[in-house]
Structure 1
């Protein structure tokens, strides 16, 4: 039996080389998926997915890993991705679900849901760092995928811009923490505000720094979120089922969803605390 021909990735193709190599093998619709907010201790986890057209139509001006772009550049690229993509989607996982199910489980679920929400069914999937099973199509987890594959970079921008907009809106509701500046990541200013005011309803109580500030660090991660959360001035009774949803970007031709209410699932042996302490963005 003859071995199948090798897939040749041409270096001159740059950010688009991997997708074009897959398209030459017959995978016309190559989807990328990435997340934003994994290393934050407040706010939602957001996953994006995108399928870019083949050829020149799929080349997005200024496209790069979202972390390498300025906020203004990300907004410009976001609009280009939304207007050019064959299909795109964004899935938002609230902090309450991250606490209930665990960070790693939610990270995979968010990317899986974003990919499943695409209007065009992908024939091949590229994900950033983590393999995602249960998609029904072949896929590849690419290390630093948002710097290697255009569709993953596009998904990265979708997720990052969506989450940043949510955090700016959240800053209006909880002005003591500076969410509009640090977007919920663990900076010196955020840590100081957390210790001064205590956590609010949008903090992730399964993270050790939030649990420490709330006085619940001695409890298991999934039992740390109290019935009452704090806004820094008074106690707020927080009901996740009736909480005000964040202001979402215009969905245009894509899909924006808020995932909540799923039954908690067993988590793999990956601690939220370890992931949180070792990762910053």
Structure 2
């Protein structure tokens, strides 16, 4: 080991999977060179954070484990109840309880980069996933709460497996023949709901980015349809576009 350059050791640390990093730390712990000791300090912190994250995710499996008599537990959450424009999107996700997806959380607490990364992992590792949509026309016709119910039912119906238990963020879904549990702030308490939250948020953000190319004057790329002062001024200046919710913007036009 003494013959190894610090650069070589740095490459070894960099290429070691985090779950095996403690073995590499032990291997080089007796190397007294300051550069190596700095790496050991750096990767020891990463290891500690990694195992803390595993513990956090296991705590977020509480609701899934408490209902493990059900075969397909589905987390459900929505994105887009509050904006002035665009659809409401619901995610539905059935996760394997045998496998951890680290860093799942309320989508609003994650960076856009982290959400997009987890979006891909969820789609790869979920037992089943889907998104449901309620259009602007539906929102204006039956109101946002009823439209949210419709988008959630749409997501459930698109799953490849019919769930036998639902974990839903803050909502009790009416007129459905599946047992369910509503959890306040569930997207920060349940891995399944957190995954659904990310799926819904990323899907809707991608849609709003596409709408931005059609209606750039409203800057949907940045505001995602929410009522920022810039967005409201654009509505006043240009009038509404086809994806504005008429029942939401009636006080601005």
Structure having the higher Rg: 2
Q: Answer with 12-21 or 149-158: which moved more.
A: 12-21
Identify the residue that residue 137 of structure 1 maps to in structure 2.
Answer: 178
Runs of 4+ with deviation above 2 angstroms: 10-13
Q: Secondary structure at the match of 2:216?
A: coil
Alignment of 1:49 with 2:92, yes or no, is yes
Listed as ranges, the matches of 1:95-114 within 5 Å are: 95-114=136-155
Identify the residue that residue 167 of structure 1 maps to in structure 2.
Answer: 208
Offset at residue 48 of structure 1 (A)? 0.7
Listed as ranges, the matches of 1:135-214 within 5 Å are: 135-207=176-248, 210-214=249-253
| Cα distance per residue 1:180-236 (max 9 Å; x no partner) | 0010011121112111211111100011xx11333xxxxxxxxxxxxxxxxxxxxxx
Contact 1:33 1:111 in 2 (8 A): yes
Offset at residue 12 of structure 1 (A)? 8.4
- Determine the C-alpha separation between the residues in 2 that align with 1:90 and 1:106: 14
- Determine the C-alpha separation between the residues in 2 that align with 1:199 and 1:212: 12
Alignment of 1:15 with 2:60, yes or no, is yes
Contiguous gaps of at least 5 residues in structure 1: 1-9, 215-281
Identify the residue that residue 87 of structure 1 maps to in structure 2.
Answer: 128
Contact 2:57 2:102 in 1 (8 A): no
Cα RMSD for the two superposed structures: 1.6
TM superposition score normalised by structure 1: 0.68
Q: Secondary structure at the match of 2:83?
A: coil
Contiguous gaps of at least 5 residues in structure 2: 1-54
Alignment of 1:64 with 2:105, yes or no, is yes
TM superposition score normalised by structure 2: 0.76
Contact 2:139 2:147 in 1 (8 A): yes
Q: Answer with 33-42 or 107-116: which moved more.
A: 107-116
Larger helix percent: 2
Contact 1:11 1:17 in 2 (8 A): no
Contact 1:167 1:183 in 2 (8 A): yes
Offset at residue 11 of structure 1 (A)? 8.9
Q: Secondary structure at the match of 2:218?
A: coil
Q: Secondary structure at the match of 2:62?
A: helix
The size of the alignment, in residue pairs, is: 199
Contact 2:89 2:203 in 1 (8 A): yes
